[in-house]
Amino acid sequence: MKKFYSAHKPYILATIMLVCVCAFLFMIQYTIKSSNSTLKSVTYSEFKELVNDGKVDYIRYQTGDNDMYFYLVDDKDRLTDRTLYRTIYPDYESFKREMLDKGINIQITPSVSTGSFWWIWVVILFLIIFIIMRNNTNTGRIMNMGNHLNNPFSDDGNKDIKTEESSVRFADIVGQDEILDDIKFITTLIRYPERGEKMGAKAPRGILLQGPPGTGKTLIAKAIAGEANVAFIYANASSFMEMYVGVGAKRVRQLFSEARKKSPCVVFIDEIDAIGGSRNAQGRNSEDDKTVNALLQEMDGFKSRDGIFVIAATNNADSLDKALVRAGRFDRQITVNPPRNWEVRRQLYKMYLQDAPLGDDVSLSAIAKETAGFTGADIAAACNEAKVIAIMKDQAYIDTACLEEAIDKKIFKGNRAKDQHKREHDREIVAYHEAGHAVMTYLCGQPIARASIQSTISGVGGVVFQEEPDTSFQTEESLRQQVMICYAGRASESIKFKDVTTGASNDITQATRIMSGYIEHYGFNPDFGMVDMSVLQQNRFVDSSEITSRISAMSKTLYDDCRKLLEENYDKVENLAQALLEQESMSGDEIMKIIGD
């Protein structure tokens, strides 16, 4: 009973308050109506005679009633047993003014009727039904919880935990050659532990796969289980979290209990940061800590989990509890990144398009170069979207236009606009804007993958895709060139139209981020030297206005340099802009034929 009261205390108190308010209002109404037992009824003619004789003290009338009530002047001094008279209320507007002229006050009050409170009773009834249904639902959940916990792998229990035999092999993984060699040897130790015993080596207890979504962490875990020829048990960590005390810890223990029955096996815990976050982090509660403690206990000691290999995946490894990622639990932490080489992305495009006919104009190398940063999942989604687009166009094959439209949908999160040809002046502005970006990219020695002026419904008017640089390092000069490339669209508009638009807003944001890093973090500013200014800002050792002034001065200098360089080569911008107006989308090779020397 105490638990029920604690759980539903707010609803019970609200119901009691509403009942009290209704009782108070009805008590007032009853008090008024109960006085009717002492009434003395008179005719309206008798009432008029009393008025003319000056014997009426004051009149009380409730709107909507047919009768009115009055007291006599003779009874004015009587505190108790004062007679209340009742007569018909004349329904004409001048009655009140007539009474006031005779010196008789008339008090008109709103009518208090039982029907006016119907909505309160509806609310009370609704709350009572809600509390009863909530109680029955929670009771049913608690009664069924035991069945779900006894078999968390059943279809009626936890559907996020699955046991299966994996058919994935290492040959199915493309673009992760850097980490596969290490993983292959770990798989060998899992399958043939005697090979490690010769040197006293043991297979790692667990692997933590970290990296952005869609990079293939789950695929790698399945490949390990498939190559080792052991059972694969998948569990999403968020399924362990419940509002009931002890449920999370119990589900963790039952997960490993099931794993012991399936041993040897691979247990894969996806999104482990849902339960494995730092126990000192804000917003956590004792139930979260109990779940983490249960997971730590299960992962300790080979004897209690012999033949069980744990793999976990997360997008945010920094948030995990230090005890969880220490050596002896997750011995290996492997970062799974998107493919950095365009040739790897070309292999992925080839794999996902192998069952679809391609047009003669399709260059997977060009497509791969313009999708820098795409993960394997992104490429799979783009290929599937290209197939859908080809079907919608009633084509028997996938051409370059289908692939480029699919990529644009993925990057810009929207379909292409169909009315762009109706706004020729806007297309012209976009063409010169994007041509400015492309020419400045060429002048800075950066390779161009594609340029397009096909607008999308998400608001993007055009784009210039750059190829990935040959190095992963940034120099002072390369950062300054990136800012000039960002400013080239605005500069081109200014040169051509003597006016500018708001189309450079995203370019300005990107340039500001680059200059902020240039001055605050990378130590390229000679006035500040090798100092991370953001650290000084956090400790309030430096005024932010000083950094702002440096960024502003750098911005003006680079914009002037960009505009000057673009003016000297504006014939290239003119030629490319006109070509874009005709073709709308051009590959890097086509662009170089126009602007290249």
**Residues that are catalytic:** 434
3-state secondary structure 432-457: HHHHHHHHHHHHCCCCEEEEECCCEC
Report phi then psi at 41, rounded to 5.
-85, 140
The whole-angstrom separation of Cα 588 and Cα 591 is 5
Long-range contacts of 184-189 (CB under 8 A, 24+ apart): 184/227, 186/224, 186/332, 187/224, 187/227, 187/228
Q: Is the peptide bond before 264 cis (omega within 30 degrees of 0)?
A: yes
- The packing angle between helices 476-497 and 570-583, to 10°, is 70
- The packing angle between helices 217-228 and 177-191, to 10°, is 40
Instruction: Specify the DSSP element, H or E, that contains 62.
Output: strand 56-62
Amino acid symbol at 367: I
* Percent of the chain as helix, strand, coil, to the nearest 5: 55, 15, 30
Which tokens belong to 245? 């005390």
> What DSSP line would sit under 253-270, residue for residue?
HHHHHHHHHH-SEEEEEE
Query: Looking up tokens 């006894």, which residue turns up?
Result: 150
Which tokens belong to 360? 């003669």
Q: Is 441 left (phi over 0), alpha (psi -120 to 50) or beta?
A: alpha
Which tokens belong to 251? 């589900």
Query: Looking up tokens 């080839």, which residue turns up?
Result: 350
- 378 close to 418: Cβ distance less than 8 angstroms: no
Q: Among residues 450, 446, 447, which one has the least CA distance to residue 462?
A: 450
